[in-house]
Structure 1
Amino acid sequence: MSPPALAVTGLTVDYGPVRALRDVSLLVPEGGFVAVLGGNGAGKSTLLRAISGVLPFHGGVVREGGITAAGTPLRGRRPDQIVRQGVVQIPEGRDVFARMTVAENLRAGALGVRDRAAVAAARERVLRLFPVLAERERQRAGLLSGGEQQMLAIGRALMAGPRLLLLDEPSLGLAPIMIGRIAETISAINGEGIAVLLIEQNAALALELASYAYVLEVGAVALEGSARELAASPEVRDRYLGITGGADDEPDLAATGPAKTLTRWSG
């Protein structure tokens, strides 16, 4: 049995005197799709920063716990080393290189890849996924729409040949039609065998895409379960889906049958 794409065990993170994460554990199976839900300040972005190795740039420190990708320890490694292990983050706000062209942004995503054939294949794959990027290859990234910039951010990440994508709020600030397109693309990428860890405040979207989910509250895992179980949980429905019950309020993504109340971790 192959090791999981990602295993986080007992992760505790501090920003100075502030404890941002407390004893957080989660698994992303090989090729799996896992979502992390939670409100502002729950620790979602901190979790991704710790995994991708950029936490020190934000003043954070991992105090305890382990992080492994496909069995390889990541804790203490530099961000570029983590990318070479196949773990690539797409940050909140997209963060494209605005003054560089679309083509230059894509090449930047492949800087650590020495196999030219692999780079060419990745580029072809990205332009097949996002034909609009092929049309705008010579255009500066800063002139793209928000949705197009999100496509470019995903495409740039794919240029590195990831085994695991870390997505931080990919729907943020996008029009509903573009959110749908991005969601379809993420599902297609996962369908090709790339594991996904999705951080998303749009809980309905996250639970529709993912197969398993965790809920963070004040830096700790409060609930976990299959996406279907969480969608049917009265607590999640009330707090994150804005649904207080009633037959007319039943969302399409919820499980049929009686709603479950998931066990809360003592943390």
Structure 2
Amino acid sequence: MSPPALTVTDLTVDYGPVRALREVSLTVPEAGFAAVLGSNGAGKSTLLRAVSGVLPYHGGTVRSGAVTAGGTALHGRRADQIVRQGVVQVPEGREVFARMSVADNLRAGALGARDRKSVAAARERVLRLFPVLAEREKQRAGLLSGGEQQMLAIGRALMAEPRLLLLDEPSLGLAPIMIGRIAETIRAINGEGIAVLLIEQNATLALQLASYAYVLEVGAIALEGPAAELAASAEIRDRYLGVSQEATEEEIAAAGPSRTLARWSG
């Protein structure tokens, strides 16, 4: 049996005197799909930074705990070394290279590739998933719409041929129709065997996509369980995740009848 794509064990992270994460543990199975939900300031982005190795650039420090990907320890490795281990992050806000062309943005994602054949195969895969990028390869990335930039950011990450894709708020600032397209593509990427860890404030979207979900509150895991069970719980929707405020009536109806989780009764 293959090791999980990602295992986080008792991870504690500080920003100077501020404790951002407290003994956080989670698992993403090989080719699995997990989501982390929570409000602003809950520690979601900090978690991804700790996994992807960019935490020091944001002034954070891992105080204790362990992070492994495919059985390989990631703590202490540089961000580029973690990418070579197959763990690639798509940052919040997309952060494409605005003055570079779409084609050059994609090439930047493949800088660590070993041979041209693998780069060509990765590029073909990206353009199959995002045909609009093929149409606009020579266009400057900064001239793309927000949704197209998100496609480019995901495509750039896929050029590194990841085994685990870390997505930080991919729906942020996008129109509903574009959110739907991005969601379909994320589902397709996972269907090709790439594990996904999704960070999302849009709980409805996250619970529709993921198989398992974790809820972060003030830097700690407050709740976890199969995504379908969380989505079907009236307490989770109304009292905790605020899904009922974010979801349309059609989305709530699609989730099926509400159920009560035992731990929330009484």
- The answer, yes or no, to whether TM exceeds 0.5 is yes
Residue 23 of structure 2 aligns with an amino acid whose one-letter code is D
Contact 1:10 1:64 in 2 (8 A): yes
1:96-121: CA deviation from partner (whole Å, max 9, x where unpaired): 00000000000000000012111000
Aligned residue in 1 for 2:138: 138
Contact 1:90 1:153 in 2 (8 A): yes
Q: 1:206 to 1:137 in 2, by over 3 A?
A: same
> Aligned partners of 1:126 and 1:205: how far apart in 2?
23
Q: Secondary structure at the match of 1:243?
A: helix
Contact 1:92 1:168 in 2 (8 A): yes
Aligned residue in 1 for 2:24: 24
> Aligned partners of 1:80 and 1:65: how far apart in 2?
21
Using the size of structure 1 for normalisation, the TM-score is 0.94
> Aligned partners of 2:258 and 2:89: how far apart in 1?
37
CA drift at 1:240 = 1.9
- Percent identity (aligned): 79
Q: 1:249 to 1:95 in 2, by over 3 A?
A: closer
Aligned residue in 1 for 2:252: 251
1:158-205: CA deviation from partner (whole Å, max 9, x where unpaired): 000000000000000000000000000000000000000000000000
Q: 1:167 to 1:249 in 2, by over 3 A?
A: closer
CA drift at 1:243 = 3.2
1:68-94: CA deviation from partner (whole Å, max 9, x where unpaired): 000000011000000000000000000
CA drift at 1:232 = 2.2
Contact 1:233 1:260 in 2 (8 A): yes
Gaps of 5+ in 1: none
Residue 226 of structure 2 aligns with an amino acid whose one-letter code is S
Aligned residue in 2 for 1:217: 217
In the alignment, is residue 227 of structure 1 matched against residue 224 of structure 2?
no
> Aligned partners of 1:146 and 1:122: how far apart in 2?
23
Contact 1:32 1:211 in 2 (8 A): yes
Contact 2:234 2:258 in 1 (8 A): no
> Aligned partners of 2:10 and 2:83: how far apart in 1?
22
Q: What pairs with 1:1-267 in structure 2 (closer than 5 Å)?
A: 1-238=1-238, 239-243=240-244, 251-254=252-255, 256=257, 258-262=259-263
Q: 1:133 to 1:262 in 2, by over 3 A?
A: farther
Higher helix share: 2
1:17-63: CA deviation from partner (whole Å, max 9, x where unpaired): 00000000000000000000000100000000000000000000000
Residue 210 of structure 2 aligns with an amino acid whose one-letter code is A
Residue 37 of structure 1 aligns with an amino acid whose one-letter code is L
Residue 146 of structure 1 aligns with an amino acid whose one-letter code is G
Using the size of structure 2 for normalisation, the TM-score is 0.94
Q: Secondary structure at the match of 2:67?
A: strand
Q: 1:102 to 1:219 in 2, by over 3 A?
A: same
Q: 1:82 to 1:262 in 2, by over 3 A?
A: farther
Q: Secondary structure at the match of 1:225?
A: strand
